[in-house]
Chain A
Amino acid sequence: MTSQVQAEMLAADGGRRSGFSLRHYLICFRGIVFREALRFLNQRERFISSLVRPLLWLFIFAAGFRQVLGVSIIPPYKTYVLYEVYITPGLCGMILLFSGMQSSLSMVYDREMGNMRTLLVSPFPRWFLLVSKLLAGVTVSILQVYVFLAIAWFWGVKPPVIGYLFILPALFLAGVMLCALGMLLSSMIKQLENFAGIMNFVIFPMYFASSALYPLWRIQEASPLLHKICLANPFTYAVELVRFALYGQVNWHSLLVVVGCILLFLGGAIYAYDPSKGLLSRRQDGGGNT
């Protein structure tokens, strides 16, 4: 190595021989978030479809069911509410759920296309890279939720103004949980085509077997078994956390479950992407190249 290259390397290191400074971490984090945002903006169909899906449920499904389904007074609501008011937090959860899984799709795509390798060979710690990628995905999904809530406001879903502020940390935690789950699943999916299986075996069951569309007491009346499944479904707690936050309240039980699931899923994802422990090194990569 020439002295010039050595000097340049030291300059790039900020004169340090061990580790990166906080500034370097911030640069790396910003770069990952910026790329995620660019990818999202470049795929306008993805943005539109992410909004159309919950809006269809709100405009059509909820309008049809409001006459059939009555929602009694249950916390956090203090009066009878229309069905569209009830399912709005569930639809926020739906955006987070689809977005989290789409982020997992993008990781499978990145891995298949090779982009994932450029991320994983960065000198920053792998847990930091994965958490940054996860937070980038959550940021994008929270923006989608706010756009949805703004449209829902014009449709008559008007929670207290403070709710729009309170919902932010709830969306963040729910988003992190679902993105971490997606990341964990992405480490298990070998090919992009397998994502259809995730759709059928993870997204739909999680969404329908939760409190997103119906209150839990109604599900219990209909089927005690389904009620138990709903209680075991982490998505139920994500929705309830968002529902209470939208009305300026904290559902502590849901908060604890969501935080616990974050630790579990994120820990699992970091483990799975760790070359010394995880799943990636146990199978052949690179399209058969050895």
Chain B
Amino acid sequence: MQHVKADKAMVPPAALEVSGVSHAYGRKRVLSDVSFTIPQGHFTVLLGLNGAGKTTLFSLICHLYDTRHGAIRIFGHDIVRQPGQALRRLGIVFQARTLDLDLSIHQNLAYHASLHGIGRAAARERIRLLLQQVGMIDRLHDKVRALSGGQMRRVEIVRALLHRPPLLLLDEATVGLDIQSRADILATIRNLVAEEGISVLWATHLIDEVDVSDRVVLLHKGRVLADGRVSDVVSATGAENIGEAFGILTRSEVRAEGVLR
């Protein structure tokens, strides 16, 4: 018994563990018994059509909504029972723009740093470092209103990373961006996973953002249809690619790639 306990203690907690989560808006059920796990240091794609329940799931993970059915744990911390401990390990990029347009980049980021208890000097240093990494240090004192969509997204990513979260959630982070900006942002996030060991949950409806080496969670009409390595999901369905696998799993009559693109 002692031995088992010791073994359990050695197992690192999952970056994110969603178990049996359901949610409804009034009578409209949008998530049904959703369960999946994101191991530490992996890039995981949450793939689903618009309306699949991705944003609701994100709202539950970051405690904007209460999880009434099921449980969500971030690095072992329950989001309902230990929201502070869970949220300090979480960085979030929302689908909707959440920067204050009338403030400068620095003012926006400094405000966010204070929301995580980071002092001025440490925040200044961290902001400069991260803006340098995304190539925006020269825009430090520009008003957010003056930025393009892609630049705003990069600032939001910097903001999400300010407090050094080991888990990063991005909800449709590339929607509305041009091809180059999409590629840049995706590459930035993949680098973070590779170089800093950050765990990422990347919600999207765009098939071309999924790499064969990724892990994927297929969400459809509030249910998880598949969860695992992309290659495993593809081979398990007998499909040739993840788009086709999605089509088979949803029994869609429409060609999956067409639907998802």
Contact = CB atoms under 8 A, between A and B. Distances in A.
Most chain B beta-carbon contacts within 10 A, residue among A23, A30, A34, A35:
A35
B197 A2 contact: yes
Nearest to B97: A114
Contacts of A276: 66, 68, 80
Given A35-B107, A281-B66, A289-B55, A119 B96 contact: no
Interface string A122-163: 111100010000000000000000000000000000000000
A124 B84 contact: yes
A120 B64 contact: yes
B69 to A, nearest CB: 13
Contacts of B128: none
A251 B59 CA distance: 46
Interface residues of B: mostly helix, strand, loop or mixed? loop
Contacts of B228: none
Interface in A237-290: 275-277, 280-287, 289-290
Interface residues of A, number: 53
A286 B203 CA distance: 15
Interface residues of A: mostly helix, strand, loop or mixed? helix
A1 interface: yes
A19 interface: yes
Nearest to A39: B102
A32 to B, nearest CB: 7
A123 B102 contact: no
B16 to A, nearest CB: 12
B94 A28 contact: no
B85 A18 contact: yes
Contacts of A228: none
Given A1-B40, A20-B117, A281-B65, A290 B51 contact: yes
Interface of B: 12, 15, 25-26, 30, 40-41, 50-56, 59, 62-66, 68, 75, 80, 83-90, 92, 94-103, 107, 110-119, 159, 163-164, 166, 196-199
Given A1-B198, A13-B88, 14 more contacts: A1-B199, A12-B88, A27-B117, A27-B118, A28-B117, A35-B107, A38-B103, A114-B97, A118-B112, A120-B64, A121-B64, A124-B84, A275-B65, A283-B25
30 contacts: A8-B164, A9-B164, A12-B116, A19-B84, A20-B84, A20-B117, A23-B119, A27-B118, A30-B114, A31-B114, A32-B114, A34-B111, A35-B100, A35-B107, A38-B103, A39-B100, A115-B100, A118-B115, A118-B159, A121-B62, A121-B63, A121-B90, A122-B87, A122-B115, A122-B116, A123-B85, A123-B87, A277-B66, A280-B65, A290-B55
